[in-house]
Structure 1
Amino acid sequence: MPGDTKSRILAVARELFVEQGVQNTSLRQISERLGLTKPALYYHFASRDDLVRSIVQPLIEDFQRFVDDREPTGGDPRRLLGDYFDLMWRHRDVIVMMVRDLSTLSHLDLGTRVFGWRRQIVALLLGPDLTREQHIRATVALGGMSDCVVEYAELALEEVKPTAVEAAAVALGI
């Protein structure tokens, strides 16, 4: 039962954070929506920061696992782009939450992590020694796919992914 309450708190907090932003959502709002007292909420999460960390942690773990489990170069770049898009799509609510409230990025040092993951993905796609043009193309490709995840989050995956992945591949010249 406590696990169920914690899951409900996370789901409602995620929903409110996406709707209103992290800074504009109080623990009182979360507890009221759940029909819980604030002390009951504090039993599961010590603070709003703790709640945000719990929501973002699965994204951090999945992205780190994604880059760690890939073989350097030699793979199918379109498949890698598609897998990367799928990963972002699975976490699109958290990505929307982060974009809506950019302080979330600094809160968990996510900005540094995101750019680190992108550099690793670019190296997986194009190798370690890139020209300035390749770096710029990679920025457009990966950034564009990220923007599609945020901009079209309400659409079906099948409506967004094929075009986003193809546009990224064209931007990369692959």
Structure 2
Amino acid sequence: MVVPRPRTSETRERIQAAALELFTAHGVRQTSLRQIAEHLGLTKPALYYHFSSRDELVASLVQPLVDDVEALLAEDEETGRSEPRDLLGRYFDISYRHRAVTALLVRELGALSELGFVERVVSWRHRLMTLLVGPDADVADRARAIVALGGLGDCLVLLGDTPVEKLRSAALDAACAALGPLAQR
């Protein structure tokens, strides 16, 4: 009996899953493409068929998060739709869906900074802050927004073993509490 070979997209997804696991366990810089190939029982050329470098592989892991956050921001900036709890909830949902990559971003700040992702996250934070408190907010209101956003992200990483329904509610309540009266806009 002939065992069917995995489709190219399946192999690519397997490589990404193994890379995320190894990057999380050992670090991006400490994990080579050879180690990923060996972990999967692939040859190095087979891995290179899908990803020409470790940087390309890392980018492929982070890009779906980038695309989702950029879409959220673009939609809200275009429509002006930014009720704080709703915006924070949708941001939480995206971050939760990509929580393994979000945790990797937090742990591997240096390595991901070299690839330009940290600047992207800082830009998101500024844009989210503006959506939450407006472009002319004073320092106190901007600080509340920063605490709300940072706390929401930290909850995903530090309380990641909490059931999502419970975590979402608690994190949103805390983020809105940090915003104070701004959450009622």
Which interval holds the TM-score relative to the shorter structure?
Answer: over 0.9
Question: When the two structures are aligned, how many residues end up with a matched partner?
Answer: 174
CA distance in 1, matches of 2:146, 2:9: 40
What percent of counterpart residues are identical?
Answer: 49
* RMSD (Å), alpha carbons: 1.5
C-alpha contact 1:22 1:101 (8 A) present in aligned 2 = yes
Match of 2:152 among 145, 151, 165: 145
Number of the residue aligned with 2:140: 133
Kindly provide the CA deviation profile for residues 58-101 of structure 1, in whole angstroms up to 9, marking residues without a partner as x: 11111111100115655421111111111111111001112121
Structure 1: any 5+ residue segments left out of the alignment?
Answer: none
Structure 1 outlier segments of 4+, above 3 Å: 71-75
C-alpha contact 1:73 1:127 (8 A) present in aligned 2 = no
Number of the residue aligned with 2:29: 23
Matched, 1:160 2:171: no
C-alpha contact 1:92 1:150 (8 A) present in aligned 2 = yes
Matched, 1:93 2:122: no
Match of 1:69 among 61, 75, 88: 75
Matched, 1:3 2:13: no
TM-score (norm 1): 0.93
CA distance in 2, matches of 1:129, 1:169: 20
Deviation at 1:154, TM superposition (A): 2.8
Point out the more displaced range, 149-158 or 65-74: 65-74
Amino acid at match of 2:176: A
CA distance in 1, matches of 2:28, 2:75: 31
Matched, 1:51 2:57: yes
Kindly provide the CA deviation profile for residues 123-147 of structure 1, in whole angstroms up to 9, marking residues without a partner as x: 2122211011011111111001111
Kindly provide the CA deviation profile for residues 14-53 of structure 1, in whole angstroms up to 9, marking residues without a partner as x: 1111222211212122111111011111111111111101
Deviation at 1:103, TM superposition (A): 2.0
Amino acid at match of 2:37: S
Point out the more displaced range, 88-97 or 154-163: 154-163
Which structure has the larger Rg over C-alpha atoms?
Answer: 2
User: Aligned pair in 2 of structure 1 residues 47, 129: CA closer, same or farther (>3 Å)?
Assistant: same
C-alpha contact 1:81 1:165 (8 A) present in aligned 2 = yes
Q: Indicate the structure whose relative CO is greater, using CA pairs within 8 Å and at least 6 residues apart.
A: 1
Q: Secondary structure at the match of 1:150?
A: helix
